[in-house]
Amino acid sequence: MRRFGVSLPDDLARAVDSIAEELGVTRSAVVAQAVASFVQEYRGHLKSGHICLGAVLSLTEGMEAVGEIMEKYRDLIANYSHIHLGEKCISVFVVQGDGQKIGEFLMGLSEKAAKTFFTPIE
Ligand SMILES: [Zn+2]
């Protein structure tokens, strides 16, 4: 077993603590399960040589955060929709292309966004 520190957005950290309490397990157990799910997804889809098709959903405080990363990965984005709900901005991307590039797009987006979700379709 290895130990290392990670930084999480406050609401995500609270959610991890809440799930750990509800399930009666440690915070580490919840994080390990979440990482295992990501690793499985990564190995299946977010790798070089796999042409992936999927949808990305992100929640941001504004459009500025998304604009730069969208420009950088525009070749991957087949469709894009943006909705303002009060102070929140929700972006929906349909992405298609090399899985590794989609992974880079996701990681770049999640550094700027409060929440980012990816659902692979193929
Ligand atoms: Zn895929």
Q: What's the domain count of the chain?
A: 2
Q: Are residues 32 and 57 in the same domain?
A: no
pLDDT (tens digit, 0 to 9) for every residue of the chain, 122 residues total? 899 888 888 989 999 999 999 999 999 999 999 999 888 888 889 999 999 999 999 998 877 778 889 999 999 999 999 998 888 899 999 999 999 999 999 999 988 888 899 999 99
- Residue 71's pLDDT is 93
**Residue at token pair 């292309």:** 97
Q: Report CA(66)–ligand 1 centroid distance (Å).
A: 23
Q: Report CA(46)–ligand 1 centroid distance (Å).
A: 7
Instruction: Look at residues 84, 87, 91 and name the one whose alpha carbon lies nearest to residue 109.
Output: 91
**Residue at token pair 């990670």:** 6
The CATH number given to whatever domain includes residue 77 is 3.30.70.1150
Q: Report CA(35)–ligand 1 centroid distance (Å).
A: 18
Q: Is residue 22 part of a domain?
A: yes
Note if the pTM is more than 0.95: no
Q: Is residue 2 part of a domain?
A: no
Three-state DSSP class for residue 27: helix
The residue range of the domain holding 108 is 51-120
Three-state DSSP class for residue 12: helix
Residue 1 one-letter amino acid: M
Residues 6+ apart with CB under 8 A from 18: none
For ligand 1, a single-atom ion, the residues with CB < 5 A are 45, 52, 120
Q: Are residues 80 and 110 in the same domain?
A: yes
Q: Is residue 74 part of a domain?
A: yes
- Residue 43's pLDDT is 83
Q: Is residue 5 part of a domain?
A: no
Q: Is residue 4 part of a domain?
A: no
Q: Report CA(42)–ligand 1 centroid distance (Å).
A: 9
As a whole number of angstroms, the distance between CA 62 and CA 18 comes to 27
Q: Are residues 35 and 61 in the same domain?
A: no
Q: Are residues 39 and 73 in the same domain?
A: no
Q: Are residues 75 and 106 in the same domain?
A: yes
Reduced to 3 DSSP states, what percent helix, strand and coil does the chain have, rounded to the nearest 5?
Answer: 50, 30, 25
